[in-house]
Structure 1
Amino acid sequence: MTRTIVITGASDGIGAASAKQLNDLGEEVVVVGRNPEKTARVARTLGVDSFVADFTDLSQVRELAASLLERYPRIDVLANNAGGVFGRRTLTADGYETTFQVNHLAPFLLTNLLRERLIESGASVIQTSSAAAKLFPRFDLNDLQGANHFSSTTAYGNAKLANVLFTKELNRRFGDRGLSAVAFHPGVIASNFGSTSDGPWKFLYGGPLAQRLMTSTAVGGARLTWLALGKPGVDWQPGGFYANNKPARTNRLADDPAVAKALWERSAVLAGVDD
């Protein structure tokens, strides 16, 4: 049976690569991106549906969820792949720190707005996290948006750890209802990922050695594709964190259920969804 697979952040990078791979395998792929022209180009090339949503605006996330619910009676996979790193501390129109909102709060909101459809479909929810969850965070539940201490690296590490904590809590709350969640590190990908930042991130992703030293978008996309195609409990374990298609270690806080629960509850208040 052909499955419906929604991929955010699919206008380029590993999202676009995975969309092509899954489409080539006969799955019904839905492309979601921030940039209208790039998103339309990917969708047109593949001959698939597309939607535009800027995750710095939570009203657009709500509109996206409503459109998906109206269009698709089943959603078999939701890949929360959109994200980014930002050079300075800025607030979105919603009043939240941009890194926190784009990488965590917006996908948290989207997943919860689609939650009943995902449960009905026995869906997999995939979070594109990062090894940064282990390397860079200074995670403080009382300062999730870096009001007291901010650096682009720390903010990104905190957001990627939030992805893993969200995965754990999503699985704890709804795993027994048939929803499976997993997070993964795609590799250090040669893409324009760091273009919205400055300093070391922009140099790392835009420097002359990037294409030579980093993982290609095709390989990174294949890691997302592997999870999307995989059977939870057989090919990968729900609630797990993966790298190179294998279970991997991440930040020790990811194994603290109290932290995961507290993050969920605070995110629900900020996003305006039922806990």
Structure 2
Amino acid sequence: MSRASKNLPSDHDPRTIVITGASSGVGAAAARILHQRRPQDSLVLVGRNPEKTQAVAEEVGAAFHVANYESLGQVRRLAEELSQYPQIDALGNNAGGMFDGPFTTADGFERTWQINVVAPFLLTSLLRDTLRASDATVVQTASLANVLYSAFDPGDPNTFEKFTAERAYGNAKLGDILLTRYLDSHGLTSVAFHPGVLNTGFGQNSTSRTSKLYSTTAAKHFLGKADKGGENLAYFLSGTPGIHFNSGEYYNNKRKPGLQRPIAKKLSVARRVFDDLGRQLNVEW
């Protein structure tokens, strides 16, 4: 048994845990760790690539669903499928990435913002009743990029203006922290975390300088493995609020309070962004 899995909360109550972005990287690593340490749990994996998602699901004995977050129609279908489960005790909003742009999706959002923020907000909103009934925890995979790259404008969360792949990604990860505060303000246990600087291929869809740097052989030698981020995702998914973390907060990869921009701490900004987004998506909190 790995050291990572030994450090997980170890209560024996079986849980149903949904992990998005689970076909590779941090999501797949978390699924493997949970399967090893908490075999009593029922895992439900979501990924964009059918073959890869199925392969990981079969490896850990999980159910799986396929959805491409570039289409909100697919997110709505996914929510319908997931709502069929009797309970969902934890939802890991882990899918995301860095992309070139600006690129406007068919739904009218900039791609980076849609995949990292809009889609998980929509999924969580559509599963609201199921999550509340289960007293669930919602976990956002955020990033230190919220400090390193962001220049967040509540009037342009999509980053259509002054777009760079890094800025859009940083703004999206700051958006995930704001989403955490927003969900907590509506009585849903929620937490965000930085998985670490990892070799996961998160920027493989971008030609940005940061993505190119991460892809070099030298950089890969120093980057952490996906297992480290998976350990933290698994920890928060299986943890208990008030004991292992505080709802509404953002943690670094050491599970300590994470560095964040002052604007990320403002509930008023979170409400502005997500109340407006809720109106656009026709969902309410």
User: What is the alpha-carbon root mean square deviation over aligned residues?
Assistant: 1.1
Cα distance in 2, alignment partners of residues 151 and 211 from structure 1: 23
What are the residue-to-residue correspondences of 1:1-275 with 2, within 5 Å? Answer: 1-24=13-36, 25-26=38-39, 27-70=41-84, 72-174=85-187, 179-243=188-252, 244-275=254-285
Cα distance in 2, alignment partners of residues 95 and 264 from structure 1: 16
Structure 1 residue runs without a partner (length 5+): none
Cα distance in 1, alignment partners of residues 127 and 148 from structure 2: 31
1:170-204 CA-partner distances (Å, limit 9, x unpaired): 10112xxxx31000000011011111000313213
CA shift for structure 1 position 96: 1.1
CA shift for structure 1 position 149: 1.7
Specify the code of the residue in structure 1 equivalent to 2:136.
A
CA shift for structure 1 position 45: 1.5
Match of 2:272, SS state, is helix
Match of 1:82, SS state, is coil
Specify the code of the residue in structure 1 equivalent to 2:73.
S
Structure 2 residue runs without a partner (length 5+): 1-12
Whether the aligned pair in 1 keeps the contact of 2:166 and 2:208 (CA below 8 Å) is: no
Specify the code of the residue in structure 1 equivalent to 2:69.
F
Cα distance in 1, alignment partners of residues 134 and 220 from structure 2: 39
Specify the code of the residue in structure 1 equivalent to 2:27.
G
Q: Percent identity?
A: 43
Cα distance in 1, alignment partners of residues 268 and 259 from structure 2: 19
Once the two structures are overlaid, the 10-residue window that deviates more, 203-212 or 106-115, is: 203-212
Cα distance in 1, alignment partners of residues 170 and 211 from structure 2: 16
1:149-177 CA-partner distances (Å, limit 9, x unpaired): 21111101110001000100110112xxx
Cα distance in 1, alignment partners of residues 210 and 278 from structure 2: 30
Cα distance in 2, alignment partners of residues 44 and 255 from structure 1: 40
Specify the code of the residue in structure 2 equivalent to 1:13.
G
Cα distance in 2, alignment partners of residues 235 and 146 from structure 1: 34
In the TM superposition, structure 1's runs of 4+ consecutive aligned residues that sit over 3 Å from their partners are: none
Match of 1:194, SS state, is coil
Which is helix-richer, 1 or 2? Answer: 1
Specify the code of the residue in structure 2 equivalent to 1:28.
S
1:220-269 CA-partner distances (Å, limit 9, x unpaired): 10011111121101110101111112222311112212111101112112
Cα distance in 2, alignment partners of residues 202 and 147 from structure 1: 20
Cα distance in 2, alignment partners of residues 148 and 14 from structure 1: 30
Whether the aligned pair in 2 keeps the contact of 1:195 and 1:205 (CA below 8 Å) is: no
Match of 2:83, SS state, is helix
Specify the code of the residue in structure 1 equivalent to 2:205.
T
Whether the aligned pair in 2 keeps the contact of 1:10 and 1:33 (CA below 8 Å) is: yes
The number of residue pairs the alignment matches comes to 270
